[in-house]
Amino acid sequence: MNENDMGKIFLNDLHRQNSILEHLLSDAFLRVLNSGRYILGTEVSEFEKEFATFVGSKYCIGLSNGTDSLELALRSLGIGYKSKVAIVANAGSYSSTAVYACGAIPQYIDVCNDKMTMDPKDLRMNINKETKAVIVTHLYGQMANMPAILEITNKFEIPVIEDCAQAHGAELNKIKAGNWGKMGCFSFYPTKNLGALGDAGCIVTNDFTIQEHLLKLRQYGWSKKYKSDIPCGRNSRLDELQAAFLRGKLPYLTEWNNRRKDIANIYSQRLNKLNNKVICPTNFNQDNVFHLYVMRTNNRDDLAKYLISCGIIVDVHYPIPDHQQTFHKNSFLEVELPVTKKLCKEILSIPCYPELSNDEINFIVSKIVDYFV
């Protein structure tokens, strides 16, 4: 942090959490350093067991990052050239990236106006016999309507992959995110609810065959050293150091999620008094762990500039829908996603992380109120 950053409230402040856990993280580093084993050792295997237990899955496969987890999940289902995969367009292009990496084609589905996650009604209208998989993104920490989505996909016998990169620990009907579909994909990017000190990810599943396939895919397609059994394998291994850091942080995850929810509740209670000038999250149940606090307003860009001028760093997750990104080269001009389009013009993320102080929360609220009043 330089002197120009003094007094600012950042959207995320990783230094705070890592300072609190400094001794724990230092011990994890030394444990790995002294072990002499840095790839696929004890730390990875133990983290896989511990995270699988936390999520409630039989298997966890540690990977290099969350985007790899989406791609390898698709490959484990046999998704390949020109296969069609149903995804949403308001979640940062990560699913699109994975779909294209497999040579597949995205089918963009609109989202619900309230949850901002995949709309089961629009899914029902748009999937067909050509749809080979569905990726459901649990966005901003809030789980999608999985019972309604699975009712549709089960009729078509279409496998579902859950993108849980923003939903560590979220739980719907006593089933945690990652256990509804064939598998759940997680990112442990540093800003996630459970974050490493670099890139890291994993896939959880209850399917032994999928687990065996993923173990091969993450390491060159090997069934054993130097024996490649399947194509499209790669080097996508969770390393020992990141696994050790994650093992140290995992016991705190539920407490951190609860603090995020408390902060979000304060925001919504106080900002809802602005007479519909902003739309705030209203779901504080177990299926929302508030990876981000995303409010909505027609004055988004102007409000963002004002808050930044006050030292409150905000962001937009995400401003450009996938189907309108330039890399598509006008391939989806006919796609109409009215809710997605509207949301991308209104959404604004404000700071919401466990180490945020009550004074900072009050300051953020006061500045938003000042802007509208």
Greatest pairwise CA separation for the chain in angstroms: 67
Domain end position, chosen among 224, 250, 276 = 250
Residues 75 and 94 in one domain: yes
Structure tokens at 44: 């990875």
Q: Smallest Cα–Cα separation from 170: which of 204, 139, 203?
A: 139
Residues 300 and 229 in one domain: no
Burial class of residue 309 in the structure, from the number of CB atoms within 10 Å of its CB (0-12 exposed, 13-18 middle, 19+ buried) = exposed
Q: Which domain does 368 fall in, by range?
A: 3-14+252-372
Question: What global pTM score does this model have?
Answer: 0.97
Distance CA 184, CA 70 (A): 9
Structure tokens at 345: 């013009």
Residues 182 and 264 in one domain: no
Residues 101 and 44 in one domain: yes
Distance CA 107, CA 116 (A): 17
Q: What's residue 2's pLDDT?
A: 52
Domain end position, chosen among 234, 250, 266 = 250
Note the pLDDT tens digit of each residue in 240-288: 999 999 999 999 999 999 999 999 999 999 999 998 899 999 999 999 9
Distance CA 309, CA 199 (A): 31
- Residue 135: enclosing H or E segment and its boundaries? strand 131-137
> What is the total count of domains within the chain?
2
Residues 241 and 130 in one domain: yes
Domain end position, chosen among 250, 275, 301 = 250
Residues 265 and 184 in one domain: no
Q: What's residue 276's pLDDT?
A: 87
Q: Which parts of the chain have pLDDT scores under 50?
A: 1, 3
Q: What's residue 46's pLDDT?
A: 98
Q: Name residue, tokens 């459901």.
A: 136
Residues 213 and 280 in one domain: no
Task: Strands of 198-265 (E only): list them.
Answer: 201-205, 222-224, 227-228
Distance CA 182, CA 170 (A): 17
CATH number assigned to the domain comprising residue 57: 3.40.640.10
> Residue 84 carries which side chain, given as an amino acid letter?
K
Q: What's residue 5's pLDDT?
A: 67
Dihedral of CA atoms 249, 252, 254, 260 in degrees, nearest 10, equals -90
Q: What's residue 89's pLDDT?
A: 98
